[in-house]
């Protein structure tokens, strides 16, 4: 069974645009890229030519005679004479292009030719995507895909768009959920946190109606990510890259979640590891949250390069990496608080990234003033606090009241609570995090 994904709407709009360019769908391994692209292609084209460079080595030589469309099609046909190329009715799908990144050079020719639509996809570890990008500047459209977000999970569970949109209505109207609504959405959210959004994990959970077997699938995905490191990274960096990836759960469990190299290896130096972090970010298997120098706009020109937090872009994979005792508690009791709120913080980071929001935080030296995340609208900077308990939001209140921070007029707190509003702080349950971007947009439109 195919589960609806957000890329479905993007692909429909892409095809409907008469000026559309060849498309590259990038993202981590096993997030559902191939399944979604094939589902779209079969439903919208009379003729689909699918080439997987990882599984079908006979297609590795299709560029032997050059990058022009005629030469490429000729060599594809030589490798498999059963494939057809019908102008204006054919889509070419080049999958696992990290195995043959020079294929991206053909996109300029396909764009100019215009007879065939082209979609490329694959996991993009490290240097491979940089090479693909440089070979196809101006001739492609990029789409970054992630594992399923909470909304896609709710679709898979059979919830209607009206039911899902009711969450946003509650947020915009500052209307608390009734006890039944709150209970149902909290239960679904906790299930989603433990599972994450990897399609194979979600499908197994829905088909069996239990968590049985999901942990084994998650662990295998993490092992596959590490295997990609050994396959694609420079040999001198492989051990460091894997060490960083494995250290993130323990780093997030600290009170100070700033990433520290000495937690990996004594006397480790940042310059030895910086490129390794970039490799993991490029591969889509970690996300980086930048520390602001000051809680003010602009954001991107206002970061301390040496300070950052690292998260997993799928909280289910993070949970699968915890010790067995924590696993047991989480899967049986859904007690996410056992990890000092790190799991909720990771979930919010994941939700923000999947909405296209940047990740930024603030921690003032020699002070208790710190904030978990910041998001922005056209005119405002909004601090976002993630609470694993019911303590007061002292830093959030201090930022709002401080006249030196003129970009901040209100804040958001996400916690184990209901919808509420007190002293310019808007409070939402954790599960509302996936609607924050839409909430801010509609709130600004109303202002």
Tens-digit pLDDT profile for residues 4-16: 999 999 999 999 9
Residues 103-116: what's their mean pLDDT?
94
Structure-token match 């209505």, residue found: 169
Sign of dihedral through CA atoms 350, 355, 360, 362?
Answer: negative
- Pairing outcome for strands 117-123 and 420-422: unpaired
Burial degree of 82 (CB within 10 A; 0-12, 13-18, 19+): exposed
Q: Which two tokens stand for residue 434?
A: 């996936």
Structure-token match 């919010």, residue found: 348
Mean pLDDT is highest, among 234-248, 347-361, 375-389, for 347-361
Report the range of poorest mean pLDDT among 174-178, 225-229, 256-260, 315-319.
Answer: 256-260
| Residues 375 and 292 sit within 8 Å (Cβ to Cβ) | no
pLDDT at 349: 97
- Residue 144 DSSP symbol: E
Q: Which two tokens stand for residue 229?
A: 């490191």
Q: Which residues contact 77 (CB under 8 A, 6 or more apart)?
A: 83, 85
424-442 tens-digit pLDDT: 999 999 999 999 999 999 9
Q: Phi and psi (nearest 5°) for 123? A: -75, 140
**pLDDT higher for 70 or 262?**
70
Q: Within 10 A of 241 (CB to CB), how many other CB atoms are there?
A: 29
| Residues 235 and 68 sit within 8 Å (Cβ to Cβ) | no
What does 20-82 look like in DSSP terms, one character per residue? PPPEEEEE-TTSSHHHHHHHHHHHH-SEEEEEETTT-GGGTTTTTT-SSHHHHHHHHHHH-TT
Q: Which two tokens stand for residue 181?
A: 């609504």
- Residue 153 DSSP symbol: H
- Rounded to 10 deg, the angle between the 436-446 and 342-354 helix axes is 60
List alpha helices for 254-363, DSSP H: 270-283, 315-320, 324-333, 342-354
Q: Which two tokens stand for residue 347?
A: 């979930």
pLDDT at 286: 95
Q: Which two tokens stand for residue 264?
A: 């990996």
Confidence of residue 333 (pLDDT cuts 50, 70, 90): low
pTM: 0.93
Confidence of residue 127 (pLDDT cuts 50, 70, 90): very low
Cross-strand partners of 384: 373, 412
pLDDT at 339: 66
pLDDT at 157: 97
| Residues 147 and 32 sit within 8 Å (Cβ to Cβ) | yes
- pLDDT exceeds 60 at position 126: no
| Residues 217 and 200 sit within 8 Å (Cβ to Cβ) | yes
pLDDT at 125: 66
- pLDDT exceeds 50 at position 383: yes
Q: How many residues does the chain have?
A: 447
Residues 38-61: what's their mean pLDDT?
97
Q: Which residues contact 13 (CB under 8 A, 6 or more apart)?
A: none
Give percent of the chain with pLDDT exceeding 90.
Answer: 72
Cα separation, 298 vs 301, in Å, equals 6
Sign of dihedral through CA atoms 41, 43, 47, 51?
Answer: positive
Q: Rounded to an integer, what is the distance from CA 319 to the centroid of its chain?
A: 16
**pLDDT higher for 128 or 393?**
393
C-alpha dist (Å) from residue 255 to 234, 287, 295, 341, 345: 33, 19, 21, 10, 12
Q: Between vectors from CA 332 to CA 326 and to CA 335, what angle results, nearest 5°?
A: 55
337-376 tens-digit pLDDT: 656 678 899 999 999 999 999 999 999 877 778 899 999 9
Cα separation, 429 vs 419, in Å, equals 7
């Amino acid at each position: 069974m195919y589960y609806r994904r957000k890329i479905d709407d993007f692909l429909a709009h892409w095809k409907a645009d008469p000026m559309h360019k060849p498309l590259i769908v990038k993202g981590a391994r096993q997030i559902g890229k191939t399944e979604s692209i094939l589902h779209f292609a079969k439903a919208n084209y009379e003729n689909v030519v699918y080439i997987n460079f990882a599984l079908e080595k006979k297609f590795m030589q299709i560029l032997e005679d050059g990058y022009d469309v005629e030469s490429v099609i000729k060599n594809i046909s030589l490798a498999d004479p059963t494939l057809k190329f019908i102008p204006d009715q054919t889509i070419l799908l080049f999958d696992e292009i990290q195995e043959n990144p020079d294929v991206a050079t053909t996109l300029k020719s396909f764009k100019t030719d215009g007879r065939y639509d082209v979609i490329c996809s694959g996991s993009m570890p490290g240097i491979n995507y940089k090479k693909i990008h440089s070979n196809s500047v101006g001739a492609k459209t990029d789409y970054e895909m992630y594992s399923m977000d909470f909304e896609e999970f709710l679709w898979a569970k059979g919830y209607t768009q009206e039911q899902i949109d009711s969450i946003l209505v509650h947020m915009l109207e500052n209307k608390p959920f009734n006890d039944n609504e709150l209970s149902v959405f909290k239960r679904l959210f906790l299930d989603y946190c433990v599972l994450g959004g990897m399609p194979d994990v979600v499908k197994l959970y829905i088909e069996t109606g239990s968590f049985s077997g999901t942990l084994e699938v998650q662990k295998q995905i993490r092992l596959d990510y590490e295997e990609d490191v050994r396959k694609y990274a420079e040999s001198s960096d492989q051990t460091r890259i894997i060490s960083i990836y494995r250290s993130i759960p323990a780093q997030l469990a600290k009170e100070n979640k700033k990433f520290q190299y000495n937690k990996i290896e004594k006397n480790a130096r940042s310059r030895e590891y910086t490129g390794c972090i970039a490799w993991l970010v490029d591969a889509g298997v970690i996300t980086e949250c930048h520390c602001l120098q000051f809680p003010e706009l602009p954001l991107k020109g206002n970061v301390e390069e040496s300070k950052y937090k690292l998260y997993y872009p799928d909280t289910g994979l993070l949970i699968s990496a915890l010790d067995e005792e924590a696993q047991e508690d989480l899967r049986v009791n859904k007690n996410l608080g056992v990890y000092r709120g790190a799991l909720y913080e990771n979930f919010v980071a994941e939700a923000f990234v999947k909405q296209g929001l940047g990740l930024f935080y603030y921690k003032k030296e020699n002070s208790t003033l710190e904030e978990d995340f910041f998001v922005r609208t056209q005119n405002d900077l909004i601090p976002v606090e993630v609470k694993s308990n019911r303590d007061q939001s002292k830093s959030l209140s201090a930022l709002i009241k401080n006249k030196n921070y003129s970009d901040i007029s209100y804040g958001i707190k996400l916690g184990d609570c209901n919808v509420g509003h007190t002293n310019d702080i808007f409070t939402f349950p954790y599960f509302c995090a996936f609607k924050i971007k839409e909430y801010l947009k509609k709130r600004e439109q109303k202002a």
